[in-house]
Amino acid sequence: MRMTVNDLTIGYTDEGRGVPLLFVHGFPLSRGAWQNQLDALRSSYRVIAPDLRGFGESEAGTGAIPMAQFAEDLHALLQQLATGPVVLIGHSMGGYVSFAFLRQYPKMVRGLVLVSTKAGKDTPEAAVARRATAENVQAKGVQEVIKAMAPKMLAADNHDRAMAEQVLGFMAPSKPAGVIGALLGMAERPDATVELARISVPTLIITGADDTLIPPTESEKLAQAIPDSQLNIIPHAGHLVASEQPDKFHHVLEEWLDRVAFAVPVREL
C-alpha cells in the first residue's frame, strides 16, 4: 500500500485486526525484513510496517534525516490510519527512531519492543565514519554500503545462501538520498540513555547472541535501565535476529504480548 506522508509517498503494510503493532526496520533495510512477523501475527493483531523515507518503496527527501523526522513520518502515518496507541517494535536504527517517537508521542505507545539496538549516541569517531560513508554514497551510490552491511546482518557461522540473498533484497531498493540522510541523521542523534529510566510502558528487549554490529551487552544495558523490561538473547542469531531465527523470535514476542495482556479481543477495542 502507498500513502502520502509529509509530502512523500510512503510504502507500507497494514493487515489484520486487533491491537496495532508498528514494525520499524533498521538501516539500510526495508519492511520486507519483518515479513515473517507480519505473516505470523496478522491473524491476531493489526500489523503495520512502513518503509522509512528513502528505503524500500518510500520516496526520499533531501539532506540529513533526523530520527525525529522518521518519528514524525510514523506518527503522520498512524494518524491517517487512525490506529490509536501502538506496540512499537524497532530494530536497530528503528530502535533509535523508536526512542525519538517515544520522546515526541509518548501517548501513542502502549508497549515497546527494542530489537538489536542501543540507547547511546555515536562516538565522535563513529559519527565521522558515518559522514565519510555518506560522502562515499554521494560519489559512488549505495552498492558499497550494501556490500559492507549485508554480511554483518547474519551470524558469522550462518552460511545459508538463500537467507543472505534475501537480506540483499531487503537492502536493494534503498535510495542514495535515503542512505545518506539516515547516515547523517544517525550521526547527529541524541543520546537516549537518561530517558530509559522514565520508560513507563512494558518493554521487551530482544537481541541475537552473535550480533557483532550491536553486541548483546547493549541490550543488557537497556534491560538494566528500563523499569518494566524483559530481555531475551536468542542463540544462533546475528544482527537480523527476526529474519534469522523467526520461530524463536516469534515465540518470545507472542509470549510477551500475551503476558502483558495486549492480546485483548478485537471487540473490546
Q: Rounded to the nearest 5°, which phi and psi values hold at 228?
A: -95, 70
213 interacts with ligand MLT by CB under 6 A: yes
Binding to ligand MLT, residues 64-93 (CB under 6 A): 92-93
- Nearest CA-CA partner of 65 in 150, 165, 182: 182
Smallest gap, in angstroms, from Cβ of residue 239 to ligand MLT?
Answer: 6
Q: How far apart are CA 164 and CA 158, in angstroms?
A: 9
Smallest gap, in angstroms, from Cβ of residue 117 to ligand MLT?
Answer: 8
26 interacts with ligand MLT by CB under 6 A: yes
181 interacts with ligand MLT by CB under 6 A: no
Provide the CB-side half-sphere exposure for 194 (13 A, CA): 2
Smallest gap, in angstroms, from Cβ of residue 47 to ligand MLT?
Answer: 20
**Residue where the block lists cell 545462501:** 161
For strand 229-234 and strand 109-115, is the pairing parallel, antiparallel, or unpaired? unpaired
Burial of 147 from C-beta contacts in 10 A (0-12 / 13-18 / 19+):
exposed
Q: Rounded to the nearest 5°, which phi and psi values hold at 45?
A: -135, 165
Q: How far apart are CA 235 and CA 123, in angstroms?
A: 28
Q: Which is nearer to ligand MLT, 78 or 93 (CB)?
A: 93
Q: Which is nearer to ligand MLT, 26 or 56 (CB)?
A: 26
150 interacts with ligand MLT by CB under 6 A: no
Q: How far is CA 81 from CA 48, 74, 186, 248, in A?
A: 10, 10, 27, 30
- Nearest CA-CA partner of 188 in 117, 128, 116: 128
- How many chain residues bind ligand MLT (CB under 6 A)? 7
Per-residue string for binding with ligand MLT, 226-255, x by CB under 6 A? -------------x----------------
Binding to ligand MLT, residues 90-119 (CB under 6 A): 92-93
186 interacts with ligand MLT by CB under 6 A: yes
**Cell, residue 236:** 544462533
178 interacts with ligand MLT by CB under 6 A: no
Q: Which is nearer to ligand MLT, 112 or 257 (CB)?
A: 112
Smallest gap, in angstroms, from Cβ of residue 38 to ligand MLT?
Answer: 19
Site residues, ligand MLT (CB under 6 A): 26-27, 92-93, 186, 213, 239
